[in-house]
Structure 1
Amino acid sequence: MNDVQDDQIELSKELEDNHRDIKNEKSPDEIDVLNLPPRSVVHRDHGKTRIKLGKPLLRFLTVVVVIMLLIIVVVRLNII
């Protein structure tokens, strides 16, 4: 029984050491919020938001619009 307790104590110490090591390490993604540039500088060169439409999406939208126009024409002329 004493061996089990010793193992648990040893594991506990290892976990504490690992936790301390992790706390002391600085990740490269940390940002120093006290040294950020002013907001006016960050947002100075931002233009309008531009939406890029790929060729497949444009083709799909064109087909949908044409089908909707055909449906409107058919309903208006009472062809069906």
Structure 2
Amino acid sequence: MENIHILTNDRLRALVVETEETLDELKLELDRREQVQQEHEVAHLENHMKSAELSLKTIRDFLSFLSQDFKNKK
């Protein structure tokens, strides 16, 4: 980087503007990436919930089977 002590005020102002523009671009990119990540996590959550519902149904079916088996043995 240029030695900031020898920069003119105009050049220093220009660097500040460029730096702020770059920072704004970086913030936008970060926001975009976080949005994509959130969308991915929501999609993954939906898959997890479907799997959990299927597991719960399997457990209910098994408990129903046990209950019927217990009644039949009486």
**Normalised TM-score (structure 2):** 0.43
Rg larger for: 1
**Normalised TM-score (structure 1):** 0.40
Larger RCO of the pair (alpha carbons < 8 Å, separation 6+)? 2
Relative to total residues, which structure has the larger helix share, 1 or 2? 2
